[in-house]
Amino acid sequence: MPHKIKKFLAWLFSGKSEKASHILILPASFWLAFFLVVPIMLLLVLSLAQLGPYGTIIWHPTLENFRRVFTPLYVPIVARTVAYCGATAVLCLLLGYPTAYFLSFYAGEWRDTFLILLMIPFWTSALVSIYSWIIILGRDGLMNSVLVGSGALGKPLDVLNTPFSVILGLVYFYLPFMILPLYSSLEKIPKQYIEASYDLGAGAFQTFLKVTLPLSLPGVFAGFILTFVPCLGDFLTAEFLGGPRTYLIGNLIENQFLMAQDWPFGAALTAVLLCAMLIGLYYYQKLEAAELAA
């Protein structure tokens, strides 16, 4: 019996049998099918339904929900979301590029330590870090106590519940998504290219501009997509760190499911947002493939 199991395992993990590969992929496929594909299908079906009394659902197919998504009322929310996410991605890039550059060219033996430090915020729950920001940014918070206490400011700054606090929260959360692809891109640049550039008489800055930067562009693009796209659906940050005028698409969707009890419209909004995200990820994928081919 143990012998049979051993043989089976050897076959399963031999990496040679196509049938074995199908068995190995089975659990993940089921997981994705039941918890991703089926829910998305249900969401699409729901987005075609109508809203009945007291938030019930009436199953007469209609495109009305999608028509509503594209009404002028929501244009400012879409514009605001794109602006906040764009600002977040750009700020992540400005903060992330030097960090990634440092990690690949200067960190030396400390590199792994820094990479782990970078990942640590990920291990805390998003809610905990958001509440920490409330404690730091609040009127009686850490930041104001230090600024007012040291005499740098006459009266506390009201930064909580503003676009500033929302974008700060978003940058904090998404920064590692920028640094890691940038780092892996910079890391891949063969050192000989840079040496060659020096040998041919280029200075440090010229080398950066003509060699390092262009070669790291795939990382810049990947980082941009990986921060911008997930940011589009974020609602927790705006919910807790934002105010009445920092309402984003994510909040609009959350509101349909909770407060307004309009699930069909919420589903339509989600479907449109998903489409936009998929387009972004499609281009990301294409770029990855092109990079691999090269």
Residues 6+ away with beta carbon under 8 Å from 142: 135, 136
- Cβ 53 to another protein shortest distance, Å: 3
Cβ count within 10 A of residue 104: 19
Q: Find the part of the chain contacting another protein (CB under 8 A) among 168-176, 191-199, 204-212, 250-258.
A: 250-258
Tell me which of 22, 60, 67, 286 binds another protein, using CB under 8 A.
60
Distance CA 248, CA 77 (A): 6
Tell me which of 8, 11, 35, 193 binds another protein, using CB under 8 A.
35
Residue with tokens 């892996």: 184
Q: Nearer Cβ to another protein, position 186 or 253?
A: 253
158 part of the interface to another protein, by CB under 8 A: yes
- Alpha carbon distances (Å) from 36 to 28, 39, 144, 234, 256: 11, 6, 44, 18, 21
Q: Nearer Cβ to another protein, position 11 or 34?
A: 34
Tell me which of 130, 211, 261, 291 binds another protein, using CB under 8 A.
261
What tokens were used for 55? 């938030």
Q: Nearer Cβ to another protein, position 117 or 135?
A: 135
101 part of the interface to another protein, by CB under 8 A: no
What tokens were used for 133? 């920001």
Query: What 3-state class would DSSP assign to 61?
Result: coil
139 part of the interface to another protein, by CB under 8 A: yes
39 part of the interface to another protein, by CB under 8 A: yes
Tell me which of 46, 143, 182, 238 binds another protein, using CB under 8 A.
46
Return the DSSP state at 190. Answer: -
145 part of the interface to another protein, by CB under 8 A: no
Closest CA to 219 of 284, 131, 156: 284
Distance CA 84, CA 79 (A): 9
Binding stretches for another protein (CB under 8 A): 34-35, 38-39, 42, 46, 51, 53-60, 73-74, 76-77, 138-140, 158, 160-161, 243-245, 247, 251-252, 255-263
